[in-house]
Chains A and B, each alone.
Chain A
Amino acid sequence: NAGVTQTPKFQVLKTGQSMTLQCAQDMNHNSMYWYRQDPGMGLRLIYYSASEGTTDKGEVPNGYNVSRLNKREFSLRLESAAPSQTSVYFCASSLSGGRNTEAFFGQGTRLTVV
């Protein structure tokens, strides 16, 4: 019962470096999401994918790109990391909309940009 799996769990980057955060779900969910969590800010949506082949911007998309590789996988890319992107990143998935909006979260990736 893996659910939502994120890799890596921890990462330290230098300013300007790039990296991709990986996320995979094994629940046959249609929708996937990337959130960032900062102290006192709750969870803010970066990008989401309502279904395979579609992606849309969320609340805080600047500095990020995403790829919905297939139904299972949704990656988040930082092209040129900045200290403001130091955060905990969570991937989540849900079956779809309506009554199936219940989102299930991965364990998070703790990213520090120095």
Chain B
Amino acid sequence: GQQLNQSPQSMFIQEGEDVSMNCTSSSIFNTWLWYKQDPGEGPVLLIALYKAGELTSNGRLTAQFGITRKDSFLNISASIPSDVGIYFCAGQGSGGSNYKLTFGKGTLLTVNP
């Protein structure tokens, strides 16, 4: 099956720093999604990407759909304490199961005030 490699697994940063995380796959994806999960909650969609090369921002968050369609990255600028959580990438593949999402294992972000 399709697998996503998400890195880094965890990050510990100071408030105000920029953050970058990425996902790679051996398979081509048609859609890349980025989610954030707060403790005790379900994942919440941050950014959706639909086209190779697409660069999309949502406030301090910026994500890009890789040209090869096999990777995506998420940047967070000027981090704040409420950015703490687990960030997941998810990809939607092609073919018969094109409505299913494959998730990365997540990046745990800790922000030190």
Q: Is the CB of B88 within 8 A of A103?
A: no
Interface contact tally, CB-CB below 8 A: 62
Q: Is the CB of A107 within 8 A of B105?
A: no
Q: Which residues of B contact A42 (CB under 8 A)?
A: 6, 88, 103-106
Chain B count of residues within 8 A CB distance of the other chain: 25
Whether A99 contacts B50 in the complex (CB less than 8 A), given A31-B99, A48-B100, comes out as yes
Chain A count of residues within 8 A CB distance of the other chain: 29
Q: Is the CB of B42 within 8 A of A108?
A: yes
The minimal Cβ–Cβ distance linking A110 to chain B, given in whole angstroms, is 9
From A35, A41, A90, A96, B99 is in contact (CB under 8 Å) with: A96
User: B residues touching A (Cβ–Cβ < 8 Å)?
Assistant: 1, 6, 30-31, 33, 35, 40-45, 48, 50, 88, 90, 92, 98-101, 103-106
User: A residues touching B (Cβ–Cβ < 8 Å)?
Assistant: 4, 31, 33, 35, 40-45, 48, 50, 58-59, 90, 92, 94, 96-99, 101-108
